Amino acid sequence: MQLSERKIKIMQAIIRNYLETGEPVGSRTISKYTDLNLSSATIRNEMSDLEEMGYILQPHTSAGRIPSDKGYRLYVDTMMEEKDKELEELKEMMLEREDKMDHLLKQVAKLLAVNTNYATMISAPTIHTNKLKFIQLSRVDVNQLLAVVVVEGNVIKNNIIPVSEKLDDETLLKLNILLNTNLNGLALEEINLSMITAMKQQAGIHSAIVADVIDAIAESIRADEDLEIYTSGANNIFKYPELADQQKASEIINTFEEKQMLTELVQDTLADENNTGIQVYIGNETPIQTMKDCSVVTATYELGEGMRGTIGIIGPKRMDYDKVVGTLKTITHQLDELYKKKT
Amino acid sequence: MQLSERKIKIMQAIIRNYLETGEPVGSRTISKYTDLNLSSATIRNEMSDLEEMGYILQPHTSAGRIPSDKGYRLYVDTMMEEKDKELEELKEMMLEREDKMDHLLKQVAKLLAVNTNYATMISAPTIHTNKLKFIQLSRVDVNQLLAVVVVEGNVIKNNIIPVSEKLDDETLLKLNILLNTNLNGLALEEINLSMITAMKQQAGIHSAIVADVIDAIAESIRADEDLEIYTSGANNIFKYPELADQQKASEIINTFEEKQMLTELVQDTLADENNTGIQVYIGNETPIQTMKDCSVVTATYELGEGMRGTIGIIGPKRMDYDKVVGTLKTITHQLDELYKKKT
DNA sequence: TGTTAGCACTCGATTGATTAGAGTGCTAAC
DNA sequence: GTTAGCACTCTAATCAATCGAGTGCTAACA
């Protein structure tokens, strides 16, 4: 069966109405709601077709219809009219001088949560494609070195390295020069074995230290590959009865707290290369099992080249997709702007 | 009226039983439960007294009794028999080399949550009484300096300082020496104006930078006074029906997520100088309004001198106080040990 | 041929009444 | 001072009755 123009209009009406009320919507409601001027009986026939086609379903025999995952999918793919959401506060908040990346991200997460009434998450941008900008070894203690690594974008990593041998200032200086001249401007992937070997040779008797340092650098950068995720508004899920029962709520809250599972979502979003930047997971489409009763909308944001992170909004399936997509577009755009301005 | 020996025993029995079951406990239960060999009627009389004295209350006329806040307080103050909780995993986990303080704290929070089945929080130790161990300025970019500050206990702070004037390597070295010789070993409070003035003089034409750096140091350390708090197991509250209804759960979850409000708890705990290290807040005693239906047990842990943080366990009023207190004692002790071993 | 009015039917949700059971308070007896 | 006994209270569970929203189907209409 084909989806006639009229069926589409009815689907749209059903979904719109259901998004608002959260109640199954009946034929009579649609009959009045739309400008189609059809009686409830006609609508019933059409709805019966739509149900057969899998776009809507009945919770029980004598209830109205609610959209199925397939129905939502249809809506998101073809029927959405993006509302552009003004985020007045956003600019102000972002422009507050926030040199600390993590603070900024936390704020964005919170802002989004307050603004949308859904739960939100944001992952710190992954930096592994980025270039080393500065390396410094310092002696902090008799047997401890401090390695500071700055990556493009001013992301700073520290690592304490225990050393057994004593190093005098001069050696330290040499090592610093050695490291910086050799590694500066390189991306992590570009550091290969032959380079390391070469550096070890140059370091002479201190080759052990060089190895340690390289390890530390690698580790301190990789440390973030169990990546930093900030969340906010988890308690918003209590606003939607269909998610608020103990079982589900507990699972979702847990997912949010553990964050571990959210990384999958991030990976999945970042992995999809050929996307416009926004992805919508409806119900079972989500990579996170515990969220199969939710919908998740994710966006990829980009800070300069190579630094990409993910913003996600998690809500009920009857989420206001139009608004959420609009908001996410605005936010990612703003983040982009912000970065350009800073550099 | 006085609390007779027998009344105390009955109170104890009531609380113990209620902690286990969460159900109001009746006279007949007590009559069998205790070794007093009294009939339910006698117990009833005693319970009637206890109710009049405010230690227990009846949810409704024909229900058993439950402890009031005052009753719990009595229990905690005088009737508890600490069970020493073996935390086998704890040692292993702690001994995993965890140089990253924040990772360690997160793990402790999680471990506690899993172990107790309550929600937990842990605040990073405040460091403002601690001594500067190492300061380093480096040029990261033409117009950006990186200030790295290491405080005793190997807490590392970074700060990017924008500079207008150009600095050559030699000047930078001089500044580093100046800063380190002057500030090393000092606590933040000990840095006073005259010292700063003296340093500025020595810095000559670069006095502006010195001021900036000092500011940055102060700020980078103070930055943490909106203190870092890690939480875990928030979803455990769903295990206790008396906390699991939407309204309460939502509030508690929110408190946990925002963390802002938890700082009050931390402040309150740390403020109490003359305590043994463990505090119990029952119901309304808690400084956090949203937790008035919970009990909160907090402990102060100390890493060396001056670095103190707070661990908190949040659960229903019928929390297993004995176990929780025992566990907290173990944990704080372990943290102490760990620190000693590391330094 | 598509649309509509009408009607019987279904099924969840609400309401009210009844019952069972746990626990108390009180009194009288031990 | 303790206990047995009994009336009383209140909650929770159960069940039936009812309501109403919404459907599916049929027959009539344009």
Q: Coil, strand or helix: which one is B158?
A: strand
Q: What is the pLDDT of residue B210?
A: 79
> Within a 10 A sphere around the Cβ of B228, how many other Cβ atoms?
18
With a CB cutoff of 8 Å and minimum separation 6, the contacts of B263 are B123, B226, B227, B229
Partner-chain residue, chosen from A156, A160, A256, that has the shortest CB–CB distance to B158? A156
Write down the pLDDT at residue A193.
79
| pLDDT of residue B312 exceeding 90 | yes
Q: Would you list the DSSP string of A108-119?
A: HHHHHHHHHSSE
Kind and range of the H or E element at A314?
strand A307-316
Residue A211 pLDDT greater than 90, yes or no? no
Q: Is the dihedral of CA B178, B179, B180, B184 positive or negative?
A: positive
Tokens of B230: 């890690």
Residue among B100, B27, B14 at smallest CA distance from B55: B14
Topology classification of domain A5-79: Arc Repressor Mutant, subunit A (1.10.10)
Q: Check B148 against A148: CB less than 8 A apart.
A: yes
Question: Of the ranges A81-85, A119-123, B56-60, B328-332, which one carries the lowest mean pLDDT score?
Answer: A81-85
Residues by CB within 7 Å of nucleic chain D, which ones?
A: A 23-29, 40-41, 44, 47-48, 51, 58, 61-65; B 37-39, 41-42, 45, 60-63
For chain A, give the percent of residues with pLDDT over 90: 47
| Residue B342 binned pLDDT confidence (cut-offs 50, 70, 90) | low
**Would an 8 Å CB–CB cutoff place A312 in contact with chain B?**
no
Chain B residues in contact with A140 by the CB 8 A cut-off are: 133-134, 150, 154
β A119-123/A307-316 pair status: antiparallel
| Contact assignment for B136 to A141 by CB distance below 8 Å | no
B99 CB within 8 Å of a chain A CB: yes
Asked if the A88-126+227-342 domain carries CATH number 3.30.450.40, the reply is: yes
Which whole-number Å values give the CA distances from A225 to A255, B31, B106, B124, B220, in the listed order? 18, 60, 17, 23, 25
**A180 CB less than 7 Å from any atom of strand C:** no
Element (H, E) at B151: strand B144-151
Q: HEC states along B167-198?
A: CCHHHHHHHHHHHHHHHCCCEHHHCCHHHHHH
Gap between the Cα atoms of B232 and B247, Å rounded: 20
Give the residue on B whose Cα is nearest the Cα of A147.
Answer: B148
CB contact under 8 A, B244 and A246: yes
Which residues lie across from B281 on neighbouring strands? B296
Average pLDDT, chain B: 86
Q: How confident is the model at residue B133 (pLDDT cuts 50, 70, 90)?
A: confident
Closest Cα in chain A, distance from residue B246 (Å): 7
Distance CA A104, CA A339 (A): 12
The answer on pLDDT for B187 being more than 80 is no
Q: CA of A136: which chain B residue's CA is closest? A: B138
Exposed/middle/buried for residue B149 (C-beta within 10 Å: 0-12, 13-18, 19+): buried
Residue A76 to chain B, least CA–CA distance (Å): 30
B341/A138: higher pLDDT: A138
Quickly list H helices, chain B: 5-21, 27-33, 40-53, 69-74, 88-95, 101-116, 169-183, 193-203, 207-222, 246-258, 262-271, 321-342
Model confidence pLDDT, tens digit, residues B26-80: 999 999 988 889 999 999 999 999 999 999 999 999 899 999 999 999 999 998 8
pLDDT at B294: 96
* pLDDT at residue number B127: 64
How far is residue A242's CA from residue A317's CA, in Å, rounded to a whole number? 9
Q: What topology does CATH give the domain B88-125+227-342?
A: Beta-Lactamase (3.30.450)
Q: What is the pLDDT of residues A106-149, one digit of tens each?
A: 889 999 999 999 999 999 887 656 678 888 888 888 888 888 88
Question: Which candidate, B102, B150, B235, places its Cα nearest to that of A102?
Answer: B102
pLDDT of residue A163: 80
Question: Residue B84 — pLDDT band, cuts 50, 70, 90?
Answer: confident
Residues 6+ apart with CB under 8 A from A15: A67, A71, A72, A75, A79
Confidence band for B274, pLDDT divided at 50, 70 and 90? low
Q: Which residues of A touch B158 (CB under 8 A)?
A: 148, 156, 158
> Which CATH topology does B132-225 take?
Enolase-like; domain 1 (3.30.390)
Q: Map out the domains of chain A as residue ranges.
A: 5-79, 88-126+227-342, 132-225
| Whether residue B340 has pLDDT greater than 90 | no
Helix or strand or coil: residue B39?
Answer: coil
